[in-house]
Amino acid sequence: MTILIKGEFLTIGQLIKKIKLIDSGGQIKQFMQSHQVKINGKLINTRNTKVRVGDTIWIDDQLYTIKAQNNEE
């Protein structure tokens, strides 16, 4: 699945909320403890890790690719 972002980066917590895996930012800590999250193949466990354009994110067995959102979209 491709995720479009504006700007230079999002945190992994913001991304997980954007793709509606959680309803509020307050749920991210528990989500990170109970799910396997990898950025570019590296396992992470902190919600403030930055996700940038071109990164590949694995959340459990689902792959997400990060791309820049054009101003026209």
Expressed in angstroms, the distance from the first to the final Cα of the chain is: 17
Domain boundaries, given as residue ranges, for the chain: 2-68
Look at residue 11 in the predicted model and tell me its pLDDT: 96
Task: Give the bridge partners for 56, in sequence order.
Answer: 65
Q: 20: phi > 0 → left, psi -120 to 50 → alpha, else beta; which? A: left
pLDDT in tens, 50-73: 999 999 999 999 999 999 998 654
Can you tell me which residue has the tokens 């990164």?
Answer: 55
CA atoms of 38 and 35, how far apart (whole Å): 10
Look at residue 73 in the predicted model and tell me its pLDDT: 46
Instruction: Kindly report the CATH class assigned to 2-68.
Output: alpha beta
CB atoms within 10 A of CB 18: 14
Instruction: Supply the pTM of this predicted model.
Output: 0.86
